[in-house]
Structure 1
């Protein structure tokens, strides 16, 4: 290596060290200038993470307590304290429990109480079951008129059966004709139209 190459190499090293120190000074100035906002951001992130972990732990504890309370109710369905505790821990699970008990007892009155439940599907099925237990034609027709009713076709079949029992064959026929051929109730509908509605 000649002297000229050595001098160029030393210059390059000095330039790179100078750039490094320059970047360090710029970073130091940036940190000094924005010290409080940076600390605030770090503290906020730590607080959010801690709050999230605390919430998840609390939620998991609530779910476990609700499941334990449900197990107690399965052992002793008449335990009013456990029922109240379940309602405070998980109102939706409480409504599912009440629904299961109302179905087991075939209690239309208890099902009526669940019509406004926030539990997924409970309010819909409770409305249908209450109308069926009471053989309430108006309630079945109102239910079958709902847009996303789960048992819509079944409610129409039940309405048709009640109409047939009242001797209103034409109305029953009209009700059955509204059920789609793709419905799971299509075979029942066909049988009723053939044997019951002549």
Structure 2
């Protein structure tokens, strides 16, 4: 290598080192200038991650607690401590448990208490079951007119049977005709219409 080539290589190294130091100085100035906002962003990110982890742990603990309480209530329905735990930790599951108790015991008072439940389907099923247990034809008829009623076809079938027991064939036919062809109860309503009404 010649002296000229050596000088060019040294010059290139110095230029690259100079550029490196320039970028380091720019970075240092940027960090000093925006130090507080950068720290705020890092702290906020850490707090958000910590909060999310904490919330997830809290939610998981509530789920485990409510499941344990539910299992205790299945074994011993009179366990008031487990009932209160379930009510506080998982109100939806509590309403479902109360609904199952009301239906299994034919307890209209429990079912009436669930008519305003926010849990999916609980209020609807409680309304139907309370009317069916009481044999309240008017409530069953009102239930069939509710949009999205889960047991609409069952209520129509019960109304038809009630009408047949009273000898009102016309009303029974009207109620049976309201049961849709896609309903699982369509065959039952057809048989009842054939053998009971005609």
With the shorter chain as reference, the TM-score category is 0.7 to 0.9
After superposition, residues 62-101 of structure 1 pair within 5 angstroms as: 62-101=62-101
Distance 1:173 1:147 in 2: 22
Distance 2:151 2:20 in 1: 73
For residues 122 and 174 of structure 2, the distance between their equivalents in structure 1, rounded to whole angstroms, comes to 29
Pairwise mapping of residues 28-177 of structure 1 onto structure 2 (< 5 A)? 28-177=28-177
Note closer, same or farther for the CA distance 1:77–1:4 as it changes in structure 2 (3 Å cut): same
Q: Residue 147 of structure 2 aligns to a residue in which SS?
A: coil
The 1:9–1:77 alpha-carbon spacing in structure 2 relative to 1, beyond 3 Å, is same
Deviation of 1:79 (Å) = 2.2
Q: Does the CA-based 8 Å contact 2:160-2:175 persist in structure 1? A: yes
TM-fit CA distance, 1:11: 5.0
- Structure 1: runs of 5+ lacking an equivalent: none
Q: Please report the RMSD computed on the Cα atoms of aligned residues, expressed in angstroms.
A: 2.1
When normalised by structure 1's length, the TM-score is: 0.88
Pair 3,153 (structure 1): closer, same or farther in 2 beyond 3 Å: farther
Give the Å deviation of 1:12: 4.7
Paired residues, number: 198
5+ unaligned residues in a row in structure 2: which ranges? Answer: none
Q: Alpha carbons of 1:97 and 1:3: their partners in 2 closer, same or farther (altered >3 Å)?
A: same
What is the match of residue 179 of structure 2? Answer: 179
Q: Take 1:111 and 1:99, find their aligned partners in 2: how far apart are those partners?
A: 6
Distance 1:13 1:151 in 2: 84
Deviates further, 33-42 or 99-108: 99-108
* Cα separation, 2, equivalents of 1:126 and 1:10: 89
Aligned match of 2:192:
192
Counterpart-to-counterpart distance in 2, 1:166 and 1:16: 103
The answer to which of 21-30 and 41-50 deviates more is: 21-30
The alpha carbon displacement at 1:37 in A equals 0.8
